[in-house]
């Protein structure tokens, strides 16, 4: 199966896009400029982080920047996500330790933690009204196999003295149920994490960037980039509203990257996901203070954040659609919900959280979004091989919120000053390279096939037990 090429369509309204800002359909000029020093494609969190840091790093003389967005500002994954800013310090990090070594794992864990505090500092410094909250994540295992695998990885990180893992508290059995409030919890990990209203954060970043001179052009899909540079070293960026030229083109289109850069076909895979907002008419005896992950199987997990208004944002629901690969793999349409999963969230809080049984909590809103999953499960950041002046920052694999802010800073340094990637502050394993693009492995499909094999084996066992 291969990922399809597509431009974003319009879709059901996510909660985060119910309170829109003045820039949602903004065009700084009526027509596109003919030339810009830098052209950014996409206006989600990655673009917001990049332009924010580009301007901060060149305070006296910004390069001219034009941002081209296919739809409205922040209408892609960032405007449709779970709002969870959760730095991984023991789970995916343990698999990075196994595949890339302990130093790479420690570098990534520290980077994610640093992102959360950098965003907190930025929000405080700029007085951004985006519901940012710093709290703790509580990740709960509800399956013995998942529990055993994660615990073994955590123990290895602890034994190796990985600093970020040492800040993770571990609980087992009754203590896990008590600390999490999740029924039947086998184990739980707790550590600092944040949550945010992503649209409001991104809107603020763009408002500042526009005030400082960037040209923002929403509703302007890019259809292609020229095959070659002109005699002055400029790329031509073609849009549905005309073309413009730039020496530096930054591709910040996440799931849709292969539409513009065909070499990313099957390297960044569109992956459809679902989120909901749950509202409780009755205040539960134990309101949620932490963020959560509930892990039911290697492939089946949910994540949720509490909001100050008492509502809960929950994402996941893979139980109801993951087995049908046509529902998610290569899907670029967020204009429909994932039908088989629409009712998954009904009674969710009552099922899983002690004390919520009589709250009447109900599903208020359901929406979908398109994640950009990298085939090697690592974001692609840096120079696009064999295309001098074209850069990429995409493929955040459903986990961009604790990575993008400082990736934007690192990429801005590379674009402005041509510093080596190793000095950018971005984890080494995110660096774009020709060998990554030549690698034909697809961990997204491998994970799916392993999950299906495990599911079939389990079903066969259940059938045998019944006979």
Ligand X SMILES: Cc1cc2nc3c(=O)[nH]c(=O)nc-3n(C[C@H](O)[C@H](O)[C@H](O)COP(=O)(O)OP(=O)(O)OC[C@H]3O[C@@H](n4cnc5c(N)ncnc54)[C@H](O)[C@@H]3O)c2cc1C
Please say whether the beta carbons of 79 and 16 come within 8 A: yes
To 10 degrees, the CA torsion angle through 450, 276, 203, 18? 150
Of 32, 39, 40, 43, which lies in the binding site for ligand X, with binding defined by CB under 6 A?
A: 43
Q: Give the strand pairing for 84-85 and 242-246.
A: unpaired
Q: How far apart are CA 29 and CA 62, in angstroms?
A: 18
* Min separation Cβ 442 and ligand X, Å: 19
Query: How many other CB atoms are there within 10 angstroms of residue 98's CB atom?
Result: 12
Under the binding rule (CB under 6 A), the answer on residue 40 touching ligand X is no
Q: Which is nearer to ligand X, 70 or 249 (CB)?
A: 70
Of 23, 105, 288, 401, which lies in the binding site for ligand X, with binding defined by CB under 6 A?
A: 401
Rg (C-alpha) for the chain, rounded Å, is 22
| Residue of 382, 65, 37, 379 lying closest to 205 (CA atoms) | 65
Q: How many CA atoms lie within 13 A of 292 on its CB side?
A: 31
Selected range binding ligand X among 69-77, 317-325, 442-450, 456-464, rule: CB under 6 A: 69-77
Please say whether the beta carbons of 139 and 91 come within 8 A: yes
Q: Which is nearer to ligand X, 81 or 290 (CB)?
A: 81
Of 264, 348, 356, 396, which lies in the binding site for ligand X, with binding defined by CB under 6 A?
A: 396
| Residue of 217, 205, 272, 275 lying closest to 21 (CA atoms) | 205
| Residue of 33, 134, 155, 148 lying closest to 90 (CA atoms) | 155
Please say whether the beta carbons of 172 and 180 come within 8 A: no
Residue 28, class by beta-carbon neighbours within 10 Å (0-12 exposed, 13-18 middle, 19+ buried)? Answer: middle
Of 80, 203, 248, 377, which lies in the binding site for ligand X, with binding defined by CB under 6 A?
A: 80
Q: Which is nearer to ligand X, 176 or 268 (CB)?
A: 268
Site for ligand X in 128-167 (CB under 6 A): none
Q: Give the strand pairing for 242-246 and 169-172.
A: unpaired
Interaction mask 409-428, ligand X, x per CB under 6 A:
--------------------
**Tally: H helices and E strands in the chain:** 12, 18
Selected range binding ligand X among 38-46, 56-64, 424-432, 439-447, rule: CB under 6 A: 38-46
Of 36, 52, 55, 253, which lies in the binding site for ligand X, with binding defined by CB under 6 A?
A: 253
* Min separation Cβ 180 and ligand X, Å: 18
Interaction mask 301-340, ligand X, x per CB under 6 A:
--x-----------x-------------------------
Q: Which is nearer to ligand X, 139 or 177 (CB)?
A: 139
Selected range binding ligand X among 39-47, 155-163, 422-430, 448-456, rule: CB under 6 A: 39-47
Q: Which is nearer to ligand X, 156 or 238 (CB)?
A: 238
State the residue for tokens 């896009």. Answer: 17
Under the binding rule (CB under 6 A), the answer on residue 254 touching ligand X is yes
* Min separation Cβ 14 and ligand X, Å: 8
* Min separation Cβ 340 and ligand X, Å: 15
* Min separation Cβ 197 and ligand X, Å: 12
Under the binding rule (CB under 6 A), the answer on residue 81 touching ligand X is yes
* Min separation Cβ 80 and ligand X, Å: 5
Under the binding rule (CB under 6 A), the answer on residue 207 touching ligand X is no
* Min separation Cβ 395 and ligand X, Å: 8
* Min separation Cβ 429 and ligand X, Å: 16
Please say whether the beta carbons of 151 and 187 come within 8 A: yes
Under the binding rule (CB under 6 A), the answer on residue 8 touching ligand X is yes
Query: How many other CB atoms are there within 10 angstroms of residue 439's CB atom?
Result: 12
Site for ligand X in 163-202 (CB under 6 A): none
From residue 90, how far is each of 96, 98, 112, 385 by CA, in Å?
10, 12, 12, 32
Of 23, 38, 39, 46, which lies in the binding site for ligand X, with binding defined by CB under 6 A?
A: 46
Number of residues counted as binding ligand X (CB under 6 A)? 45
Please say whether the beta carbons of 275 and 14 come within 8 A: yes
* Min separation Cβ 239 and ligand X, Å: 7
Distance of CA 268 to the CA centre of its chain: 13
| Measured distance between the N- and C-terminal CA atoms of the chain, rounded to whole angstroms | 36
Under the binding rule (CB under 6 A), the answer on residue 69 touching ligand X is yes
Site for ligand X in 363-392 (CB under 6 A): 369-371
Cβ-Cβ contacts under 8 Å for 298 (sequence gap 6 or more): 145, 146, 149, 447, 450, 451, 454
Under the binding rule (CB under 6 A), the answer on residue 278 touching ligand X is no
Q: Which residues of the shown chain bind ligand X in the complex (CB under 6 A)? A: 7-8, 41-47, 68-71, 75-78, 80-84, 221-222, 252-254, 256, 259-260, 273, 275, 303, 315, 369-371, 394, 396, 398-402, 404
């Amino acid at each position: 199966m291969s990922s399809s090429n597509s431009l974003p369509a319009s879709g059901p309204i996510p909660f985060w896009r119910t309170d829109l800002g003045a820039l949602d359909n903004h065009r700084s000029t009526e027509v596109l400029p003919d030339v810009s020093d830098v052209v950014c494609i996409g206006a989600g969190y990655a673009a917001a982080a990049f332009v924010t840091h580009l301007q901060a790093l060149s305070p006296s003389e910004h390069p001219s920047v034009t941002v081209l967005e296919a739809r409205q500002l922040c209408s892609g994954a960032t405007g449709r996500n779970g709002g969870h800013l959760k730095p991984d310090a023991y789970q995916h990090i343990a698999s990075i330790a196994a595949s890339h070594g302990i130093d790479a794992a420690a570098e990534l864990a520290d980077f994610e933690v640093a992102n959360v505090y950098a965003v907190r500092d930025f929000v405080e410094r700029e007085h951004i009204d985006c519901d940012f909250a710093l709290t703790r994540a509580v990740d709960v295992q509800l399956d013995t196999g998942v529990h055993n695998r994660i615990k073994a990885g955590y123990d290895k990180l602890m034994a190796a003295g990985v600093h970020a893992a040492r800040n993770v508290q571990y609980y087992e059995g009754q203590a896990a149920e008590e600390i999490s409030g999740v029924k039947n919890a086998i184990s739980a990990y707790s550590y600092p994490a944040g949550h945010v209203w992503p649209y409001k954060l991104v809107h603020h970043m763009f408002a500042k960037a526009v005030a400082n001179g960037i040209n923002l052009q929403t509703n302007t899909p890019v259809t292609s980039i020229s095959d070659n540079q002109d005699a002055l070293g400029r790329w031509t960026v073609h849009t549905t509203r005309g073309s413009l030229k730039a020496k530096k083109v930054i591709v910040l289109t996440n799931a849709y990257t292969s539409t513009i850069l065909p070499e990313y076909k099957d390297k960044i895979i569109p992956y459809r996901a679902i989120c909901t907002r749950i509202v409780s008419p009755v205040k539960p005896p134990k309101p949620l203070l932490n963020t959560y992950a509930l892990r039911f199987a290697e492939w089946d997990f949910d994540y949720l954040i509490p909001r100050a208004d008492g509502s809960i944002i929950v994402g996941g629901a893979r139980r109801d659609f993951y087995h049908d690969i046509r529902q998610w793999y290569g899907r670029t349409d967020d204009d429909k919900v994932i039908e088989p999963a629409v009712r998954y969230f009904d009674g969710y809080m009552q099922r899983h959280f002690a004390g919520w049984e009589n709250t009447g909590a109900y599903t208020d809103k359901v929406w979908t979004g398109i994640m950009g999953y990298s085939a090697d499960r690592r974001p692609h950041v840096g120079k696009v091989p064999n295309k001098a002046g074209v850069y990429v920052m995409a493929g955040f694999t459903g986990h961009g919120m604790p990575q993008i802010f400082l990736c934007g800073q690192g990429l801005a340094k590379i674009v402005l000053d041509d510093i080596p990637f190793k000095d950018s502050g971005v984890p080494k394993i995110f660096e774009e390279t020709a060998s990554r693009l030549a690698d034909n492995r697809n961990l997204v499909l491998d994970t799916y096939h392993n999950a299906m094999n495990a599911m079939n084996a389990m079903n066969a066992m259940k059938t045998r037990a019944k006979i």
